[in-house]
Amino acid sequence: MQTRSLGRNGLEVSAIGLGCMGMSHAYFPLPDRGEMIALLRAAADRGVTLFDTAEVYGPYTNEDLLGEALAPVREQVVIATKFGFDVDAFPAVDSRPERIRAVCDASLRRLRTDVIDLFYQHRPDPKVPIEDVAGTVKDLIAEGKVRHFGLSEAPPDTIRRAHAVQPVAALQSEYSLWTRDVEGEVLDTLEQLGIGLVPFSPLGRGYLTGHMDASTKLAANDFRNTLPRFTAEARAANTTLVDLLQATATRKGTTPAQIALAWLLAQRPWIVPIPGTTKLGRLEENLAATEVVLDAEELAGIRAAAEQIQVVGGRYSEAFQKTVGRSED
């Protein structure tokens, strides 16, 4: 497995990580816990070192799952988790310093570890100055409870203000061929400050793999049913983007998912996507994307074609976006 440095803070991880949310949250029906423990250990065996979770996934059960699964290899892996949502009033946010400390201690217990490798603010909290958030994590780092500070879905000004108090190791934001709003000012800010980018949903929550279409049935309680981009009409309209990935994959002898991940990896050397899966075959397919080389002409062609495609549907409902202080573009 290739490795990459997340910015200039000394955090080195596998070039592709593993997003673990779907193992116990959001995508239904949920898989068997024992099978997910086996999958997590298989990922570690294959060289994955970055594992992503959060207290709100479950809630709590995802951290507990990782704690059990990764205990035998704890010294070889990087565990990232998050604070910032009010679990009892989700999707309300809460990044008060006392709340951050309480989440840290509880996450340490569930993860069965003495230190959190990467502690993200899950979403900005408009009620709490980011300087107070960064200062609290700085104190936790000084106390040995946290190694690195991260932000998620934060705008450039917030990133700069946080970084001035405590260096930010990584920003986690959605980034893929159908969600490119981090391009421009956000990526420029990360480059200037030496911060890594960890794209979540790099495969469009499964859509960019080519295994979904307008007729795909989702479980009634599947999180994607709440997303405008996953209505049957939006899925039908967005097939042009999948067709682009499939055409490239056919020429390269790969899969659409591998092209989508290889494209992301080629954007910057400090980008580490975290596709999620609950299946060993998909895990191995995703990891093999590190071996797919897209030359400059291919990258330019993919981008030019993608920029001509109007993606239909927002990432989240407008109500959710407003709750975390950000409206859809």
CA 276 to chain centre: 8
Instruction: Identify whether the C-beta of residue 290 lies closer than 8 Å to the C-beta of residue 254.
Output: no
Give residue 79's identity as a one-letter amino acid code. Answer: I
Q: Which of 321, 289, 211, 274 is nearest to 23 (CA)?
A: 274
Pairing assessment for the beta strands 12-14 and 3-5 based on DSSP bridges: antiparallel
Mark out the alpha helices in the chain (DSSP H runs).
33-45, 61-70, 97-111, 130-142, 156-165, 185-193, 232-237, 239-252, 256-267, 280-287, 296-307, 318-323
Lookup: tokens for 38: 């086996």
CA distance 182 to 268: 12
Is 57 an annotated catalytic residue? yes
What CA–CA distances, in Å, run from 273 to 3, 17, 48, 205? Answer: 12, 6, 12, 13
Neighbours of 193 (CB within 10 A): 19
Selected catalytic residue, list 27, 57, 120, 207:
57
Spell 42-51 as b/e; 16+ CB within 10 A means b: ebbeeebbbb
Cα Dmax for the chain: 54
Our CA dihedral for 299, 301, 306, 309, rounded to 10 degrees, sits at 180
- Cis, peptide link before residue 29, omega less than 30° from 0: yes
**Hey, which residues are catalytic here?**
57
